Amino acid sequence: MSRIGLIDYGMGNLHSVQRAFERLDAQVTLVHRPADLAACSALVLPGVGAFDPAMAQLHHADLVQPLQQWCAAGGPLLGICLGLQLLFEGSDEGDAPGLGILAGRVRALPRRQGFPIPHMGWEPLLPAMPSPLLPDRSPEAWMYFVHSFAAVPAESACTTAQVSFAGVAITAAVWQGSVGACQFHPEKSGVSGEAMLRRWLTWLTSL
């Protein structure tokens, strides 16, 4: 069975993410420093908060280069919420460079009357390119969102799902190589979120 390394850098809702995976009988270990990666076969990068402090915390834990090397070597990684945004090159929210694992930038959500920011609540996913997270002909999935920024990938083909906000389709989930990520919180999204995490775990067994 895959051992899931949950990145603990002080910016993630670790408890709910860990419990979600453990309910699916996954083996979860916390990753605090680079040496912890050796025991892991896949990684999860959660995140709640702001972009620059999150990058500062990853640097403080000496995890930036190891995470980049992990993904460059084809290691599986799943980003959640802020964890998705950190995978990109930078964000309008701050000045710090992101991990740069995915090409593109994180942009502020459009401000339009009647659409409060942060975007918060349940929304249906709009399927894009099929992926292990959202295969072709997947059932309709409602997910729970809380965010003020969204990624704009340089390669549109890496977008596996979008969500409608203020009349615009924005990135809800991405997949490229062995790296996947979702802007929503699957661990808080009931049956649909659990099904997505289960699909990811099933995909890991095929590697």
pLDDT on residue 116 = 93
143-189 pLDDT, tens digit each? 999 999 999 999 999 999 999 999 999 999 999 999 999 999 999 99
Tell me the per-residue pLDDT of 7-43, one tens digit each, with 9 for 90 and over: 999 987 799 999 999 999 999 999 999 999 999 999 9
**Tokens read off for 105:** 């930038």
Please state the domain count of the chain: 1
Judged against a pLDDT cut of 80, whether residue 1 lies above it is answered with no
pLDDT at 13 (0 to 100):
78
**Residue corresponding to tokens 């896949």:** 42
Among residues 40, 71, 81, 158, the one annotated as catalytic is 81
The answer to whether the bond into 139 is cis (omega within 30° of 0) is: no
44 pLDDT more than 90? yes
Residue 176 φ then ψ, to 5°: -150, 120
pLDDT in tens, 51-93: 999 999 999 999 999 999 999 999 999 999 999 999 999 999 9
Active-site residue, selected from the candidate residues 71, 119, 147, 187: 187
Q: Is 15 a catalytic residue?
A: no
- Domain of residue 66 covers 3-205
Rounded distance between C-alpha atoms, residue 207 and residue 205, angstroms: 6
Q: What is the CATH number of the domain that holds 191?
A: 3.40.50.880
Between CA 48 and CA 137 the distance in angstroms is 31
Q: Is 40 a catalytic residue?
A: no
**The predicted structure's pLDDT at residue 38:** 95
Kindly name the residue from 40, 147, 158, 185 that is annotated as catalytic: 185
Confidence at 114, pLDDT banded by 50, 70, 90? confident
Average pLDDT over residues 44-55: 96
Residue 112 φ/ψ region, left for φ over 0, alpha for ψ in the -120 to 50 degree band, beta for the rest:
beta
Band (pLDDT 50/70/90 cuts) for residue 50 is: very high
Residue 81 is among the residues annotated as catalytic for this protein: yes
pLDDT in tens, 123-142: 999 999 999 999 998 899 99
